[in-house]
Amino acid sequence: MPGIRKSEEEWRRELSPEQFRILREKATEPPFTGEYLNEKTQGVYRCAACGTPLFSADTKYDSGSGWPSFFAPIDEANVQTEEDTSHGMRRMEIICANCESHLGHLFPAGPRPTGVRYCVNSASLKLDPVKKGNE
């Protein structure tokens, strides 16, 4: 059950057109184009719509898929899954549990220790970098 409820018009005003298309209309950014694909900064990846912490940079890896990939969420309660049969495929959609925004898809091919890959659109994320020293 989501904690944030807004009308689609409210979301449209708050998100960029690309974020709205991906987060609210379940679109996908083209592979190898996302802002965070090659990002190496340590920190927490949050939902771009509501700020819920989703993934730690410690669980990010290069899957070769063209999208930022993680092997585990920060807290499984923050990410929900739902069957997605669009585009003639059967896969598991991942959704922010707090605002029900589309994040990407979960695949059963990932590294240890989980063996799964959370394949996420960069536009669905906002990196909150770890501050070093007295910054």
Residue-wise pLDDT for 37-95, tens only, equals: 999 999 999 999 999 999 999 999 999 999 999 999 999 999 999 887 776 777 899 99
Domains in the chain, number: 1
Q: How far apart are CA 132 and CA 5, in angstroms?
A: 35
Q: How far apart are CA 39 and CA 97, in angstroms?
A: 24
Residue 1 lies in a domain: no
Residue 80 lies in a domain: yes
Residue 90 lies in a domain: yes
What is the residue whose two structure tokens read 């819920």?
Answer: 52
- In the 8-state DSSP scheme, what is residue 131? P
pLDDT digits 0-9 by tens, 95-115: 999 999 999 999 998 999 999
Confirm whether 119 is a catalytic residue: yes
pTM, 2 dp: 0.91
For residue 82, the enclosing domain spans: 8-128
Q: What angle do CA 7, 87, 83 make, to 5 degrees?
A: 65
pLDDT higher than 80, residue 132: no
**Of the residues 47, 96, 99, 119, which is catalytic?**
119
Q: How far apart are CA 93 and CA 1, in angstroms?
A: 16
